[in-house]
Amino acid sequence: MSITFDNKVAIVTGAGNGLGKTHALALAERGARVVVNDLGGDVHGDGGSLSAAQQVVEEIIANGGEAFANGANVADFEQVQQMVADTIEKWGRVDILINNAGILRDKSFSKMTMEDFRLVVEVHLMGSANCSKAVWEIMREQNYGRIMMTTSSSGLYGNFGQANYGAAKMGVIGLMNTLCLEGQKYNIRVNALAPAAGTRMTEGLIPEEAFAMLSPESVSTGVMFLVSEDAPSKVILGAGAGSFARAFILETAGAHLSPEELSPENLAEIFSEVDDREGANEPSAGFEQTLKFVNLANQ
Ligand code: NAI
């Protein structure tokens, strides 16, 4: 099976640097026409310029591909809508959306301002929602769409100093979970990437040796699979240094307290049963949890 993107149009946000850049180059190498979006600010989201995106476009064109640069701020819905309109005007469709743009405003929660919290949520979560919304009707009408969210181990498992970032990164998983369900009928598949890569974002945080090993290119390999024709849907794929792993949100089988037994003390008593991972599963939608509780109560 070979993965190609001939006749496909892709938008990659934050593609001027790091992971977005290698995703864009890999897509173009396999035949996609690519919109290289980047606001061009620094890691903290300050400043802006089109030059980083422009350089990636030049690299794609030099390699014989097709691309154009776009400087929309993903947190601004109007700018995102204009980016999508420009794409449609130029190439007539959008097959792939990679929500990758991101910034950091790390501080312990105690020292974090709510402005820093809001900005990080605006870029990662609202940015992903804005871009997904702007392409959604197009993908539905085409009966084809592949969307990738970029989550993080920080959101999935927590990381000191990243309350804002972790919340935003888990938020995109919630967005994915529902878009998968709503997009299924229209052949829209939505997945999430949890990358580990040496980029300007992780410079100084990852030891030098590991930094070299954790190439963005190795992560982009996983991305090509997640946005391919035969992609799965609702997968959270961890990727780093050539290794791949899948993360799940599981729920235990559960335990029941009858109306007479219902008390916090009794819950404490049976908590080891509630916590027992034997028989845990991944509900396919939220209502499954409700059904399970009703069934347990009926038994
Ligand atoms: P990076 O800083 O090299 O690249 C991020 C790009 O997004 C930059 O080019 C930046 O200009 C752009 N950007 C930022 N705000 C934007 C906005 N509002 N609109 C448009 N573009 C904007 O960082 P890196 O490492 O390549 O990160 C890419 C994604 O992967 C981010 O979402 C990040 O949170 C995520 N990630 C990265 C990890 C890593 O190990 N490098 C780990 C987990 C997640």
Record the pTM: 0.98
Contact 11, 87 (CB under 8 A): yes
Closest CA to 96 of 173, 11, 20, 26: 11
pLDDT digits (tens, 9 = 90+) for 196-240: 999 999 998 899 999 999 999 999 999 999 999 999 999 999 999
What would the two tokens of residue 104 be? 């950091």
How much distance in Å is there from the Cα of 266 to the middle of ligand 1? 47
Whole-angstrom Cα distance, residue 83 to residue 291? 42
Whose C-alpha lies nearest to ligand 1, atom 33?
102
- List active site positions: 165
Helix (H) or strand (E) holding 96: strand 96-98
220 CB within 6 A, ligand 1: no
DSSP per-residue codes, 171-238: HHHHHHHHHHHHHGGGTEEEEEEEE---STTTBTTB-HHHHHHS-HHHHHHHHHHHTSTT--SS-EEE
Q: What is the pLDDT, as a whole number, of residue 1?
A: 82
How much distance in Å is there from the Cα of 103 to the middle of ligand 1? 6
CA torsion sign for 136, 164, 151, 119 is positive
What would the two tokens of residue 206 be? 């990852």
39 CB within 6 A, ligand 1: yes
Whole-angstrom Cα distance, residue 256 to residue 293? 8
pLDDT digits (tens, 9 = 90+) for 159-181: 999 999 999 999 999 999 999 99
130 CB within 6 A, ligand 1: no
Question: 3-class SS at 18?
Answer: helix
19 CB within 6 A, ligand 1: yes
Whole-angstrom Cα distance, residue 104 to residue 121? 10
State the chain's maximal CA–CA distance in angstroms: 73
For the chain, give the number of residues. 299
For the chain, 299 residues long, the average pLDDT of each consecutive 10-residue run is: 96 98 98 98 92 98 98 98 98 98 98 98 99 99 99 98 98 98 98 98 92 97 98 98 98 98 98 98 97 97
Q: What is the pLDDT, as a whole number, of residue 290?
A: 97
14 CB within 6 A, ligand 1: yes
How much distance in Å is there from the Cα of 100 to the middle of ligand 1? 6
Whole-angstrom Cα distance, residue 162 to residue 112? 9
How much distance in Å is there from the Cα of 10 to the middle of ligand 1? 17
How much distance in Å is there from the Cα of 47 to the middle of ligand 1? 14
What would the two tokens of residue 158 be? 């927590």
Q: Which of 13, 17, 215 to mutate to test the pocket of ligand 1 (most atoms within 8 A of CB)?
A: 17
Contact 114, 28 (CB under 8 A): no
Strand 243-247 versus strand 236-240 pairing type: antiparallel
71 CB within 6 A, ligand 1: no
Residue with tokens 């003390």: 265
